[in-house]
Structure formats: C-alpha cells, structure tokens
Chains A and B, each alone.
Chain A
Amino acid sequence: MAMKFDRPLYSLSSKAENDNAKALWEAESLGGMTEDNNRTPVPVVLLVILTVITAFLMTFPLWGQRPTAAIYAEYVKSMNSPEIMAMTDDTAAMAKIVQMNLGKQQPSKWNYDGLRERHPVTMDDMRMIKRQIEALMAKGVDLEDYTVVGNKVVFANFEGNFRADGTRERKQPWWDKGYTIDIFYLTAFFLGVTIVVKCLPSYKWQPKHNHDHSYESDHHL
C-alpha cells in the first residue's frame, strides 16, 4: 500500500483504497460488532499533550537523583585540611566543609551545589565513604560513574565510551539523563501512530450500521 501525501491531514491512502476500506467497514460483520470512525476528541488530545509535558517536568532529575561520588570529592579533600582536622565538633566541622565548597568551580563543568543540598551528609557518612572515594581518585576514574549507596560507593552510572586519548566521546549533563533517548522514542511513537491513523478513511466519514449484526457472533455456539 503506497502512501499518498497530497492531502496528508485528510488521509494518506488513495481514493480507491479509502473506498474499499469504507465498503468493507460497512458490510463486514466482526461477530456482530461495529465500530465508528470518530476522531480522537480535542480534550483527549490536549490531555495526552499535557501528559507528555508533565512526564518530563515531573521526572526532572532535580527531584531525587542518586548522589554520585563526584559531588563529595571536594568534601573528601576538605576533610584532610588542617582546619577541619583541628575541629572536634562533627556538626560544626561538616558545616564548615559545606561552606568551604559552596560555589566552588568543580572539575566537571556542572555546579554541584544544588545536588549537594539535596543529598546532605554527616561527618559519619563522610568517614564511611572517604577511603573509597580517595581510592577512586587515585585510580583517576570519572567519579560521576560511581554512585553513593549508603556506606558504599559503587560503579553504577556508565557515562559513555572513552576516546583513545582518555576523554569521553559524549557525556550527558546532569539534567539530561535519559531524556534525549526519550524524546526520540516519543517522536517515533507519535509519528508512527499518526501515520497508522491517517491511513484510515478520514474521520469526516462515518460508517452506516444499517446491517443488523446483533446475533451473528453466537451462531457457532
């Protein structure tokens, strides 16, 4: 079936194909069932659009993405500073560490202040993950590949392939984890469904259900 693009919003099928479909639609009994050819009502279309917009806004990574080891790397360095080591009160020491790193330019171009605010830690938390993060820093790996889960730092967040020179081919920013693939996926879906629906006779045509199909479904029982 070749698609016609002369009136794409009306129908993608030729007149002959549409005429055949209409004749079949009205004549055929699908077990006594009939179907109308109504368009998707405008409020339903609007609801679908609202759903798509809400889906992206609602799942934005601001709302609860797991912390990576990278956001605590500077905290670990600060813990080794003489000023912090001299402090005996853990709460005050942690507050000082947070203050020392506020607004500081990170090795990654993303500012971690917001992420740290959403994933606050205590000195006890830091003591549990400090050595693991230091070991990873010594290995020179990308700390954004690693996730902090309780007292463990685990490899969980593959950020993309490396080039021969050791740099990443492409790394998603923190606000775009999984969204570009979603946009492609959604686009393909809505395009596909639109094509399928537009291959039907236009919604301006409605079948006439003059033929009585009521009892045909039960004839075999």
Chain B
Amino acid sequence: MLKYLFAKNEDIPAGSSALFFGFSAIVWFVIGTGLGSFNAAKLAFPDFVTGNEFFAFGHMRQVHVMAVIFGWISLAFAMAMMYITPALGNTKLWSEKLGLWNCMLWNVGLTLALTLLWAGVSSGREYSDFPWPIDLYIAFCIFIPLGVNVWMTVINRRTQGIYTTNWFFAAATFLVIIVFLVGNAPEFFHLTGLTEAYLTWWFAHNVLGLWITPVAAAIAYYTIPKITGNPLYSHRIGHLHFWSIVVFYSTPAAHHLMSAPLPEWLKSFASVEGVLILVPAIAFVSNILLTMQGKWHMFVENLETRFTITGILMAIPLNMQGGFQQTRAINWYVHATGWMVAHAHLALLGFSTFLEVAAVYFGMQTILKRKLYSLALGNIHFWLLLIGFTTYWVSMTIAGLIQGAGKIYEVPYIDVVIVEHPYMIARWLGGTMVFTGNVLWLYNMWMTAREGTVIPEGRMAHELAYER
C-alpha cells in the first residue's frame, strides 16, 4: 500500500485508499477493544497489573476511548466514504492518492496522539482529551483532507441527483470540522469555567450527534438497499431524517450539564431538543425496516444484513435512553453512574459499530473481488460481538442503577463498590468476548485478501456466500 503514496493518482488502483482505511480500522478496533478489556480487568480485579503508572486506569481509560472513536469508528467511516461516495455517483474517487496520504497521516497522528495521552499529556477534558496541537492536527490533516475527497467526489459525480447516503457523508465531514475547531476553543483561547464545561460537552455531544450517528445511518442507507436489492422505502423520510439530525442533534449540549449552574432556559431548551432526537431515530429506523420488506430472510442468511439490522434495532433502546435519560426527572438519578457508560457503549459498540462492521465486510469483499475467507468465522465474530456487547450493556446498566440508588440514598461509597464487583466481572467478560471476536475478524479479513475465492465479474460477494 505504501508504494502508492508516491505514485501518480491515475496509476493507483481504485479502492486502494478504502482498503488501507479498512484494514487500519480493524487493527485499531483490535487495539481499542484490547485496551478496553484490559481496563475492565483492572476494574474487576483491582490488583491486576499495579506498580507502573503507565498501566494505571487513569492513564489508559481515555486511550481506549479515543482509540475506538478516532481509530476504529472514524477510520471505518472513512473506509465507507472512500468506496460508497464514488459508487453512488457512478464515478471514481476524486483522489486515491489523497485518500492514501489521508490514511497514513491519520494512523501516524493517532499513534502520536494516543502515546501522548498514555503518557499523561492531556487537556483533561472528557472526549476532547487530546492537547490542542493534536486537535489542530486532527482538523487539518485528518478531517479536512477527508472532507475534500468526499466533497470533490460528490461534485464530480456522473449523476444529476445525489443519493441520501452522500448527503450525510458530505454534511457530516463538514460538520465534524466545525465541531473540532469550535468545540476545542477552550484550549485554543484558554476559556475556563462554565464556558469551558459547555463547550466541552458541545464537542462531545456533537461528535456523537453530527459525526458518528449520521455517518453510521448513511452507511445503512447504502448497505440495506444495496444488499437486499430493494429500493429505499422513502426518499421523503430520508429528508425528515437528514434535517432533523442537523436541527435536533446539534442543539442539546446543555443536557449533559443539567445539574450545572447554566441558565435554566438553556437547559430546558436543550432538554426538549434532547427528547426530540427521537424524531431522526424514528425516521431512520422506520425507513430502513420498511426497506427490508420481503427480504427478512436475509436477516438470517446474510452476514452484512444481520450486522446492519442488529445495529438498527439497537438504535431503538439507544434513542429511548438518549432521549429520556437527559431530562431533569431522570438525570438526577442516573447521572455519573455506570448507566451512562452502558449507554455510551450502546451507541458506539452497539448501534454504530454493527453498522460499520457490515460496511467493512461488504466493502472489503467488493474491492478485493474476493469472497469472505470463512463465513463461519464471520458468524462467530457476529455472535461474539453481540453476546459480548449485550453482557457488557446489561451488566453496566444494572450496575448504574445500583450506583444511582447508592448516590441518592447516601450509601457509603465502598459498600457500593463491593456490590458492583460481580457486574464488573461480567463487564470484563463481555468486553473480552468483543476483543476476541475482533482478533478473529482481523485474521478472517487478512486471509480473505490472500486466499479468498475470486468473485466472477458481474456477481456480488453476498450472492456467493453459500457457494463453494
């Protein structure tokens, strides 16, 4: 792959940058979930690896979070954009070379950023933990080149219309740049106090709401109609989904700070908008599930469809939680408990990861023109992810409710810690299953590239899944 970095753009095979992004994403997924499993082990067994500050929970927790968000999830998004955007415009990617450089700079920058975080060089702001020079690097060397490639591909399309997925891709790449530059303003301009708190959560909320959620949804708008062969149920619902994401997801930052002394009007406004994130969720879920009409057998038979639909079904509890847990009536109880940790994993490891995994499976096979090396390993990957995630989510949700009760009824903290112990073990087991599944996935995709059965011209990988 590296040999193409200095080749002429026209000499680089189509799909090269998507492959580079795809394999990078899987490697970061293995690293990110491996760190997660390690961190969970430290919570379950407090004597596990002590005596070295680099392996202290406080050093490693944010490395796990950032590796997963900016390694796995964002790189998988970039992979999807690199092959879906041109496909939907009946054209080639605007610049494979820019894509390859983008991916190389992404991997180098992220490695440096996570090393700094691991060493304790941090802004101290949750979700925007990177120090400000890294924030600028991410904006100018990662997201802007990615956006340029997507926008230019859309501009140079050979269609008159733009399919729904590409609305989301083009808008989300623009919005994430704004989110990075504005959301990190407290570091650039040394803003403190409530302004810093507000912008920290404006950033954190919008990385989820204007980057992860819309791009994951955009992927489903591609994979489900593409694999099932059904038309997207409704172009009109697509409009409702797109605009409600932009309008309702961009405004509820203050609902992360319901107990802070922010103006009450701002919190009420944010809280109403927070419940209204159910509008895009309803639009998205209904549109995709209705697109499945007549093809529900593929939910069982087809790996990519199973991953995608499972992710979409997870969007239902995700948005029910997200919409209501931020209201004053519920927030006082679940705030700062394991409930939130469970919810964050439902968003990132449940909903969005399942959609991205499908896109990477589908894209890799399409670009490599090779059938998946082992469908059995693919199925094992699915079940390890699903059972592992569910174990994690259920255990942390229960743990969070116990912590909430302990907080409200002023139970001594150490008593709550003792009661939490079995749930911490369940969390570690669930996380480790996810990690194990991802190691198998990396092996499966590597072998697909090397030894997967070649797909004949004019056929698609999933059509041949059960053929030898």
Contacts and interface: CB of A to CB of B under 8 A. Distances in A.
A and B physically associate: yes
Interface of A: 24-25, 28-41, 44, 47-48, 51-52, 54-56, 58-59, 61, 63-66, 147, 149, 154, 156-158, 172, 177-179, 181-182, 185-186, 189, 192-193, 196-197, 200, 203, 207, 209, 214-221
8 contacts: A24-B161, A28-B161, A30-B163, A36-B234, A39-B236, A58-B329, A66-B261, A182-B268
B302 to A, nearest CB: 16
A67 to B, nearest CB: 10
A6 B326 CA distance: 44
B301 interface: no
Interface in B145-200: 159-164, 194
Nearest to A52: B276
A31 B244 CA distance: 26
Contact of B87 (A31, A37, A58, A59): A31
Contacts of A158: 263
A61 B264 contact: yes
B290 interface: yes
Interface residues of B, number: 73
A204 B251 CA distance: 35
Contact of A192 (B235, B243, B460): B243
Given A36-B234, A218-B366, A221-B366, A31 B272 contact: no
Contact of B268 (A48, A51, A177, A214): A177
Nearest to B267: A178
Nearest to B163: A30
Interface string B262-303: 111111111111111011001100100010000000000000
B20 interface: no
A145 to B, nearest CB: 9
B273 to A, nearest CB: 7
A180 to B, nearest CB: 9
Interface in B72-101: 83-84, 86-92
Given A63-B327, A178-B267, A51 B276 contact: yes
Contacts of A219: 90
B465 interface: no
A220 B276 contact: no
Nearest to A21: B161
A216 B160 CA distance: 15
B195 to A, nearest CB: 12
A217 to B, nearest CB: 4
Contacts of B247: 185, 189
B159 A29 contact: yes
Contact of B234 (A29, A39, A172): A39
B282 A179 contact: no
Contact of A209 (B231, B251, B258): B231
Closest 7 CB pairs of A and B: A64-B328, A178-B268, A55-B275, A156-B261, A178-B269, A178-B265, A217-B87
B57 interface: no
B160 A24 contact: yes
Given A29-B90, A63-B328, A221 B283 contact: no
Nearest to B319: A51
B265 A34 contact: no
Interface string B434-468: 00000000000000000000000010100000000
Contacts of B194: 156
Given A28-B159, A36-B233, A220 B92 contact: yes
